[in-house]
Amino acid sequence: MARYYRHPQPFRFHNANGNPITSWADWEAVYETNQGHFVPHRSAYSIARFMLEHGGDKYLSARVSQLLREPTVFHHAIPELEIRFDAYGKGRFHDLGMYGEGKYSGKSLFVGVEAKVDEPFGDVVKDVYARAMARRGAGVSTKLPDRIEDLLAVHFPTKPPGMWDTRYQLLYATAGTLAAGMDSSILYIIVFRTPAYDPEVGRENERDFTDFMRQTGATDLKGDGTARAYKMTLDGKDLYCVYDHYDL
Protein backbone atom coordinates (compact mmCIF):
# COMPACT_ATOMS: atom_id res chain seq x y z
CA MET A 1 0.00 0.00 0.00
CA ALA A 2 1.35 3.43 -0.93
CA ARG A 3 2.24 5.83 1.84
CA TYR A 4 0.87 9.33 1.52
CA TYR A 5 2.70 12.45 2.50
CA ARG A 6 1.62 13.96 5.78
CA HIS A 7 2.01 17.68 6.33
CA PRO A 8 4.88 17.97 8.84
CA GLN A 9 4.69 19.61 12.21
CA PRO A 10 6.96 22.67 12.60
CA PHE A 11 10.60 21.72 13.04
CA ARG A 12 11.72 22.09 16.64
CA PHE A 13 14.75 21.72 18.88
CA HIS A 14 14.63 20.28 22.36
CA ASN A 15 17.12 18.97 24.90
CA ALA A 16 17.52 15.38 26.05
CA ASN A 17 14.79 15.90 28.67
CA GLY A 18 12.28 17.10 26.10
CA ASN A 19 12.44 20.76 27.11
CA PRO A 20 12.15 23.09 24.08
CA ILE A 21 15.13 25.06 22.81
CA THR A 22 13.91 28.34 21.37
CA SER A 23 16.79 30.72 22.05
CA TRP A 24 20.55 30.96 22.19
CA ALA A 25 20.41 30.83 26.00
CA ASP A 26 18.44 27.57 25.86
CA TRP A 27 21.08 25.99 23.61
CA GLU A 28 23.96 27.24 25.74
CA ALA A 29 22.27 25.76 28.82
CA VAL A 30 22.77 22.29 27.30
CA TYR A 31 26.47 22.77 28.09
CA GLU A 32 26.06 24.32 31.55
CA THR A 33 27.99 21.44 33.15
CA ASN A 34 30.75 21.72 30.52
CA GLN A 35 31.16 25.43 29.79
CA GLY A 36 34.67 24.94 28.42
CA HIS A 37 33.10 23.04 25.54
CA PHE A 38 30.93 25.97 24.38
CA VAL A 39 33.51 28.42 23.01
CA PRO A 40 33.07 30.94 20.17
CA HIS A 41 34.33 29.72 16.79
CA ARG A 42 34.73 26.14 18.03
CA SER A 43 32.53 23.16 17.15
CA ALA A 44 29.74 23.14 19.78
CA TYR A 45 29.24 26.90 19.53
CA SER A 46 29.33 26.75 15.74
CA ILE A 47 26.65 24.08 15.38
CA ALA A 48 24.37 26.18 17.60
CA ARG A 49 24.99 29.28 15.49
CA PHE A 50 24.53 27.30 12.27
CA MET A 51 21.17 25.93 13.35
CA LEU A 52 19.76 29.01 15.11
CA GLU A 53 21.05 31.78 12.84
CA HIS A 54 21.85 30.19 9.47
CA GLY A 55 18.89 27.91 8.81
CA GLY A 56 20.94 24.80 9.35
CA ASP A 57 17.93 22.50 9.29
CA LYS A 58 17.02 23.66 5.77
CA TYR A 59 20.62 23.32 4.59
CA LEU A 60 20.91 19.78 5.94
CA SER A 61 17.48 18.83 4.61
CA ALA A 62 18.53 19.86 1.11
CA ARG A 63 21.81 17.94 1.37
CA VAL A 64 20.18 14.80 2.76
CA SER A 65 17.41 14.94 0.16
CA GLN A 66 20.04 15.00 -2.56
CA LEU A 67 21.89 12.08 -1.01
CA LEU A 68 18.81 9.89 -0.54
CA ARG A 69 17.22 11.02 -3.82
CA GLU A 70 14.00 11.84 -2.05
CA PRO A 71 12.75 15.01 -0.35
CA THR A 72 13.20 14.65 3.40
CA VAL A 73 11.39 16.29 6.29
CA PHE A 74 12.98 16.79 9.69
CA HIS A 75 10.70 16.85 12.73
CA HIS A 76 13.02 17.61 15.63
CA ALA A 77 16.66 17.76 16.68
CA ILE A 78 18.45 17.24 19.99
CA PRO A 79 21.88 18.74 20.81
CA GLU A 80 24.31 16.49 22.69
CA LEU A 81 22.19 13.41 22.08
CA GLU A 82 23.52 10.22 23.62
CA ILE A 83 22.75 6.93 21.86
CA ARG A 84 23.85 3.65 23.40
CA PHE A 85 25.27 1.24 20.86
CA ASP A 86 26.52 -1.64 23.01
CA ALA A 87 26.35 -3.02 26.54
CA TYR A 88 29.65 -1.54 27.71
CA GLY A 89 28.51 1.75 29.21
CA LYS A 90 28.38 5.33 27.96
CA GLY A 91 27.06 5.77 24.44
CA ARG A 92 27.90 7.95 21.49
CA PHE A 93 27.20 11.66 22.00
CA HIS A 94 26.11 13.29 18.75
CA ASP A 95 26.65 17.03 18.57
CA LEU A 96 23.16 17.06 17.10
CA GLY A 97 20.73 14.20 16.49
CA MET A 98 18.11 14.94 13.83
CA TYR A 99 14.97 12.87 13.27
CA GLY A 100 12.77 12.91 10.20
CA GLU A 101 11.38 10.87 7.35
CA GLY A 102 11.25 10.56 3.58
CA LYS A 103 8.53 12.81 2.20
CA TYR A 104 6.98 10.13 -0.03
CA SER A 105 8.32 6.79 1.21
CA GLY A 106 7.64 7.59 4.87
CA LYS A 107 10.91 5.86 5.79
CA SER A 108 12.21 6.99 9.17
CA LEU A 109 15.49 8.90 9.15
CA PHE A 110 18.22 9.71 11.65
CA VAL A 111 21.12 12.05 10.98
CA GLY A 112 23.89 12.06 13.56
CA VAL A 113 25.70 15.37 13.11
CA GLU A 114 29.36 15.63 14.11
CA ALA A 115 30.44 19.28 14.16
CA LYS A 116 34.08 20.16 13.62
CA VAL A 117 36.17 23.25 13.15
CA ASP A 118 39.59 21.65 13.14
CA GLU A 119 39.25 19.41 16.19
CA PRO A 120 40.76 15.97 15.40
CA PHE A 121 38.91 12.65 15.43
CA GLY A 122 40.67 11.57 18.62
CA ASP A 123 43.53 9.09 18.90
CA VAL A 124 44.15 6.16 16.58
CA VAL A 125 42.61 2.85 17.60
CA LYS A 126 45.88 1.12 18.48
CA ASP A 127 46.81 3.84 21.02
CA VAL A 128 43.39 3.82 22.69
CA TYR A 129 43.47 0.03 22.86
CA ALA A 130 47.04 -0.08 24.24
CA ARG A 131 46.18 2.36 27.04
CA ALA A 132 43.03 0.44 27.89
CA MET A 133 44.92 -2.86 28.05
CA ALA A 134 47.60 -1.26 30.23
CA ARG A 135 44.94 -0.08 32.67
CA ARG A 136 43.43 -3.54 32.74
CA GLY A 137 46.88 -5.01 33.34
CA ALA A 138 47.30 -2.62 36.28
CA GLY A 139 44.14 -4.00 37.87
CA VAL A 140 41.70 -1.33 36.72
CA SER A 141 38.32 -2.71 35.69
CA THR A 142 37.59 -1.54 32.16
CA LYS A 143 35.48 -2.88 29.32
CA LEU A 144 37.02 -0.57 26.73
CA PRO A 145 39.20 -3.30 25.16
CA ASP A 146 36.07 -5.44 24.67
CA ARG A 147 34.22 -2.51 23.09
CA ILE A 148 37.09 -1.84 20.69
CA GLU A 149 37.41 -5.51 19.72
CA ASP A 150 33.68 -5.71 19.00
CA LEU A 151 33.73 -2.50 16.95
CA LEU A 152 36.72 -3.68 14.95
CA ALA A 153 35.02 -7.00 14.19
CA VAL A 154 31.92 -5.22 12.83
CA HIS A 155 33.79 -2.59 10.80
CA PHE A 156 36.68 -4.69 9.52
CA PRO A 157 35.60 -8.31 8.96
CA THR A 158 38.65 -8.90 6.72
CA LYS A 159 40.98 -7.45 9.40
CA PRO A 160 43.07 -5.10 7.22
CA PRO A 161 46.33 -4.11 8.97
CA GLY A 162 45.45 -0.43 8.60
CA MET A 163 42.40 -0.75 10.85
CA TRP A 164 44.56 -0.11 13.92
CA ASP A 165 45.65 3.26 12.51
CA THR A 166 42.13 4.58 11.94
CA ARG A 167 40.63 7.13 14.33
CA TYR A 168 38.70 5.75 17.27
CA GLN A 169 36.06 8.49 17.24
CA LEU A 170 35.00 7.46 13.73
CA LEU A 171 34.77 3.84 14.84
CA TYR A 172 32.09 4.56 17.43
CA ALA A 173 30.45 7.50 15.64
CA THR A 174 29.28 5.16 12.88
CA ALA A 175 28.05 2.56 15.38
CA GLY A 176 26.26 5.23 17.38
CA THR A 177 24.48 6.51 14.28
CA LEU A 178 23.17 3.10 13.22
CA ALA A 179 22.04 2.39 16.78
CA ALA A 180 19.29 5.01 16.43
CA GLY A 181 17.42 2.21 14.68
CA MET A 182 15.87 4.19 11.83
CA ASP A 183 15.18 3.02 8.26
CA SER A 184 17.83 5.41 6.91
CA SER A 185 20.94 6.44 8.85
CA ILE A 186 23.46 9.16 8.06
CA LEU A 187 26.62 10.23 9.87
CA TYR A 188 26.99 13.85 8.78
CA ILE A 189 30.33 15.47 9.57
CA ILE A 190 30.17 19.20 8.96
CA VAL A 191 33.34 21.28 9.18
CA PHE A 192 32.77 24.94 10.02
CA ARG A 193 35.40 27.22 8.56
CA THR A 194 35.39 29.88 11.27
CA PRO A 195 38.14 32.37 12.17
CA ALA A 196 39.62 29.60 14.36
CA TYR A 197 39.86 27.08 11.49
CA ASP A 198 43.36 25.78 10.67
CA PRO A 199 43.41 24.62 7.02
CA GLU A 200 46.30 22.20 7.51
CA VAL A 201 44.64 20.47 10.45
CA GLY A 202 41.43 20.44 8.44
CA ARG A 203 43.17 18.63 5.59
CA GLU A 204 44.58 16.06 8.04
CA ASN A 205 41.11 15.43 9.43
CA GLU A 206 39.68 14.90 5.96
CA ARG A 207 42.50 12.44 5.17
CA ASP A 208 41.65 10.55 8.37
CA PHE A 209 38.01 10.38 7.30
CA THR A 210 38.71 9.17 3.77
CA ASP A 211 41.23 6.61 5.05
CA PHE A 212 38.63 5.24 7.45
CA MET A 213 36.12 4.95 4.61
CA ARG A 214 38.69 3.16 2.45
CA GLN A 215 39.68 0.75 5.22
CA THR A 216 36.04 -0.20 5.87
CA GLY A 217 35.43 -0.83 2.17
CA ALA A 218 32.79 1.89 1.93
CA THR A 219 31.55 2.84 -1.54
CA ASP A 220 32.63 6.30 -2.66
CA LEU A 221 29.54 8.17 -3.88
CA LYS A 222 31.81 11.00 -5.11
CA GLY A 223 29.79 13.84 -3.62
CA ASP A 224 29.32 17.16 -5.39
CA GLY A 225 32.73 18.83 -5.19
CA THR A 226 32.19 20.44 -1.78
CA ALA A 227 31.15 17.35 0.19
CA ARG A 228 32.39 13.77 0.22
CA ALA A 229 29.81 11.00 0.52
CA TYR A 230 30.18 7.27 1.15
CA LYS A 231 27.95 4.31 1.79
CA MET A 232 29.06 1.46 4.03
CA THR A 233 27.40 -1.67 5.33
CA LEU A 234 27.81 -2.62 8.99
CA ASP A 235 26.33 -5.83 10.31
CA GLY A 236 24.00 -5.96 7.32
CA LYS A 237 22.78 -2.36 7.70
CA ASP A 238 23.45 0.53 5.34
CA LEU A 239 24.99 3.74 6.63
CA TYR A 240 25.70 6.91 4.68
CA CYS A 241 28.67 9.03 5.75
CA VAL A 242 29.09 12.63 4.60
CA TYR A 243 32.01 15.02 5.05
CA ASP A 244 30.94 18.60 4.32
CA HIS A 245 32.25 22.15 4.76
CA TYR A 246 30.42 25.35 5.64
CA ASP A 247 31.83 28.87 5.91
CA LEU A 248 30.66 30.43 9.15
Answer whether residue 34 shows pLDDT above 80. no
DSSP state of 22: -
The distance of Cα 171 from the centroid of its chain, to the nearest Å, equals 11
Nearest residue to 109 (alpha-carbon basis) of 58, 181, 56? 181
Q: Note whether 46 and 248 are within 8 A (CB).
A: yes
pLDDT in tens, 195-224: 999 999 999 999 999 999 999 999 999 867
pLDDT tier at 10, thresholds 50, 70, 90: confident
Domain ranges of the chain: 35-124+154-247
Banded model confidence at residue 59, pLDDT cuts 50, 70, 90: very high
pLDDT band, very low/low/confident/very high, at 38 (cuts 50, 70, 90): confident
Q: Which of the four pLDDT bands, split at 50, 70 and 90, describes residue 139?
A: very high
- 19-28, 75-84, 151-160, 191-200: which has the minimum mean pLDDT? 19-28
Q: What is the DSSP code (8-state) at residue 181? A: -
* Mean pLDDT computed over every residue of the chain: 91
Length of the chain counted residue by residue: 248
Q: What is the pLDDT of residue 2?
A: 38
The secondary structure of residue 127, as a DSSP letter, is: H
Whole-number pLDDT of residue 226: 77
Rounded Cα gap, residues 238 and 124, in angstroms: 24
- Cα–Cα distance between 235 and 27 in angstroms, integer? 35
For residue 25, how many C-alpha atoms fall within 13 Å in the half-sphere facing its CB? 0
**Residue 26: which of 82, 79, 96 has the closest Cα?**
79
**Amino acid at the residue 53:** E
pTM of the model: 0.93
> Averaged over 56-73, what is the pLDDT?
94
